[in-house]
């Protein structure tokens, strides 16, 4: 194993100016990402005052009483808290013990938090103007971890534990942010009244925008949740999905030979082609794709009902032209199941109502330029056009309030108009640069990733406990993946070496548990018997000093 010598660059004592002399060297094995080596540490000592001087370079590479170099510990922390790997996985490829991987990882993220708050001036200088994103998540002790990000740079600028999630507590968090980073050019948050009031109070005059996703989701839930749930229960009670899946499993796979014939304009096995056509219709029914947004943007029960109707129509057309008995049997079996859904009067009534209300919801959704598929948090550059479209939709819906329409539709239209007018200003609030994002999805994704990385290796209970103990440090540690943050805070310095200076020294307190208990009992006994003193000087001590001098 390679040996590397280390010693301080000082040749004279900075206190008295005497020449430093080499003290006894000591060796230690160090495990680094670049390879293992033996560090020969040649200490220097001042004979005048007895101070021992160590190598700063060695301390930048590896900490005292630790076998693993700082870069190994940082990589273990990054793998654990950013990439979601378990301590056992880290141990298997890094050669670091599971216990040390966990312990060192926790110390690194705490050191990162300390370093973050020690470099507020650098972060503020880099950000200049910023847009505040704020959200929170709960830990196992029902406290709330509130995190704040800059929407422009993506920096996690602050994180705090609060309980409860009240106006006063949130305001205190925002005031701390204002004192450290100044007033943002705008903010985006969800629609909770405590957050909105605290933002207005902490940052007077700042544009406060509410998340478009939360606004649409709340309206959609109020409009369609009851009907959608009832439709799902009715479909589930009939239970046709499992029998349909059983039929699909029985059907033969697609035949490439037959498909090559079709590609060339003919078919030598029409019976096989008929069955493949039926299989394709059945797969389309059972594999309905979602938009990815979830309810109410995707109405999966209504989509299944509509898919049943479409499959029924296509099978009827196919039934009139197939010839083989096997194909006819497949169609008959599937049709009998589908008609249990499409022929049910209650299901049809609920589905029709839901479709009509969903049409109103989709009008509002399209006015906001929310796509059917894709990323809901994509930047929206045409706020003015979207605002005009929404106002036009409101005027159009207002006409229907004077028409003879069913009561459930009248109620839905009035709800949409009322909610929109109430939140109109905050939905389109923006700064001069028009750079406030339209959704707070960035924070939603941030907390999902944070919890998922812990949950997939530890489970739900451990996730809550981890957030309770290290949630604040964990949130701020995510900045390590932000290149701009690393450049602003660490510059050209080695990240591992900088963080190592903030880590508390390893090592036990020098006492066993048994010794601790004995001394606690001794101290308690001294208090009870009035024999405890507040200084170490006793008559016995002075007698021993006198005898030593004599």
What DSSP line would sit under 141-206, residue for residue?
Answer: TS-EEEEEEETTT--EEEEEEESS--HHHHHHHHHHHHHHH---SEEEE-S-HHHHHHHHHHSTT-
Using an 8 Å Cβ cutoff, are 219 and 419 in contact?
yes
Q: In what order do the strands lie in the sheet with 144-150?
A: 156-162, 144-150, 131-138, 186-189, 208-210
Q: How many CB atoms lie within 10 A of CB 62?
A: 26
Give me the residue label for tokens 């809901």: 376
At 550 the pLDDT is 58
Calpha distance 358→529 (Å, rounded): 81
What are the chain's domains? Answer: 1-58 (no CATH), 115-210+441-500 (3.30.420.10), 212-439 (no CATH), 513-549 (no CATH)
At 138 the pLDDT is 86
At 523 the pLDDT is 81
Calpha distance 32→61 (Å, rounded): 9
Calpha distance 337→330 (Å, rounded): 11
Gyration radius from the chain CA atoms: 34
Read off φ and ψ for residue 86, nearest 5 degrees: -80, 165
3-state helix, strand, coil in the chain (%, to 5): 60, 10, 30
Calpha distance 384→408 (Å, rounded): 32
Read off φ and ψ for residue 158, nearest 5 degrees: -160, 150
At 518 the pLDDT is 80
Strands 35-45 and 3-6: parallel
Using an 8 Å Cβ cutoff, are 379 and 216 in contact?
no
Using an 8 Å Cβ cutoff, are 368 and 386 in contact?
yes
Using an 8 Å Cβ cutoff, are 346 and 290 in contact?
no
Calpha distance 56→208 (Å, rounded): 49
* Residuewise pLDDT in 10s, the chain (550 residues): 899 999 998 998 888 888 898 887 888 888 888 888 999 999 899 888 788 888 888 888 888 778 889 999 999 999 989 988 888 888 888 778 888 888 888 899 999 999 999 999 999 999 989 999 999 988 867 789 999 999 999 999 999 999 888 999 999 999 999 999 999 999 999 988 899 999 999 999 999 999 999 999 999 999 999 999 999 999 999 999 999 999 999 999 999 999 999 998 988 899 999 999 999 999 999 988 777 778 999 999 999 999 999 999 999 999 999 989 999 999 999 999 999 999 999 999 999 999 999 999 999 998 988 877 666 555 555 678 889 999 999 999 999 999 999 999 999 999 999 999 999 999 999 998 888 998 898 898 899 988 888 877 777 777 788 888 889 999 999 999 999 999 999 999 999 999 988 887 655 545 666 777 887 888 888 788 877 777 766 676 667 666 766 5
Residues in the chain, overall count: 550
Calpha distance 11→45 (Å, rounded): 10
Calpha distance 379→438 (Å, rounded): 7
Q: How many CB atoms lie within 10 A of CB 475?
A: 25
């Amino acid at each position: 194993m390679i040996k590397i010598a280390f010693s301080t660059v000082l040749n004279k004592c900075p206190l008295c100016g005497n020449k430093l002399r080499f003290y006894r060297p000591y060796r230690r094995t160090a495990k680094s990402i670049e390879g293992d080596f033996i560090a020969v540490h040649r200490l220097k000592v001042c004979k005048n005052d007895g101070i021992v001087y160590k190598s700063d370079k060695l301390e930048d590479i590896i900490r005292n009483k630790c076998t693993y170099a700082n870069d190994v510990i940082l990589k273990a922390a990054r793998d654990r808290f950013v990439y979601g790997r378990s301590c056992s996985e880290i141990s298997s490829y890094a050669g670091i013990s599971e216990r040390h991987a966990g312990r060192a990882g926790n110390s690194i993220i705490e050191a990162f938090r300390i370093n973050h708050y020690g470099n507020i001036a650098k972060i503020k200088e880099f950000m200049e103007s910023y847009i505040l994103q704020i959200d929170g998540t709960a830990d196992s002790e029902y406290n709330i971890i509130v995190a704040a990000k800059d929407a422009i740079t993506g920096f996690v600028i602050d994180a705090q534990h609060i309980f409860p999630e009240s106006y006063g507590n949130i305001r205190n968090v925002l005031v701390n942010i204002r004192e450290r980073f100044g007033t943002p050019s705008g903010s985006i948050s969800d629609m909770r009244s405590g957050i909105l009031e605290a933002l207005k109070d902490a940052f007077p005059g700042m544009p406060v925008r509410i998340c478009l996703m939360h606004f649409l989701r709340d309206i959609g839930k109020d409009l369609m949740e009851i009907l959608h749930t009832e439709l799902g229960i009715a479909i589930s009670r009939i239970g046709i999905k499992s029998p349909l899946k059983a039929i699909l499993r029985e059907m033969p796979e697609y035949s490439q030979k037959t498909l090559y014939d079709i590609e060339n304009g003919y078919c030598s096995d029409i019976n096989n082609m008929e069955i493949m056509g039926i299989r394709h219709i059945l797969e389309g029914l059972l594999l309905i794709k979602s938009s990815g947004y979830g309810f109410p943007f995707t109405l999966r029960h209504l989509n299944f009902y509509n898919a049943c109707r479409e499959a029924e129509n296509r099978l009827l057309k196919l039934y009139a032209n197939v010839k083989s008995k096997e194909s006819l049997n497949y169609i008959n079996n599937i049709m009998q199941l589908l008609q249990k859904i499409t022929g049910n009067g209650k299901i049809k009534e609920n589905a029709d109502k839901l479709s009509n209300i969903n049409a109103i919801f989709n009008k509002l959704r399209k006015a906001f330029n929310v796509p059917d598929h894709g990323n809901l948090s994509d930047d929206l550059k045409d706020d003015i056009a979207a605002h005009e479209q929404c106002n036009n939709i409101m005027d159009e819906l207002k006409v229907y309030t004077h028409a003879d329409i069913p009561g459930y539709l009248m109620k839905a239209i009035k709800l949409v108009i009322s909610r929109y007018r109430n939140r109109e200003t905050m939905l389109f609030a923006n700064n001069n640069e028009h750079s406030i994002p339209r959704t707070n999805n960035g924070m939603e994704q941030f907390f999902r990733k944070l919890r998922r990385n812990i949950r997939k290796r530890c489970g739900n209970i451990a996730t809550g406990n981890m957030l309770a103990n290290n949630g604040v440090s964990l949130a701020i540690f995510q900045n390590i993946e932000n290149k701009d943050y690393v450049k602003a805070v660490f510059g050209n310095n080695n990240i591992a070496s900088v963080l190592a200076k903030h880590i508390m020294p390893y090592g036990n307190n020098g006492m066993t548990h048994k010794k601790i208990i004995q001394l606690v009992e001794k101290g308690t006994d001294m208090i009870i018997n009035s024999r405890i003193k507040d200084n170490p000087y006793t008559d016995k001590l002075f007698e021993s000093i006198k005898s030593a001098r004599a």
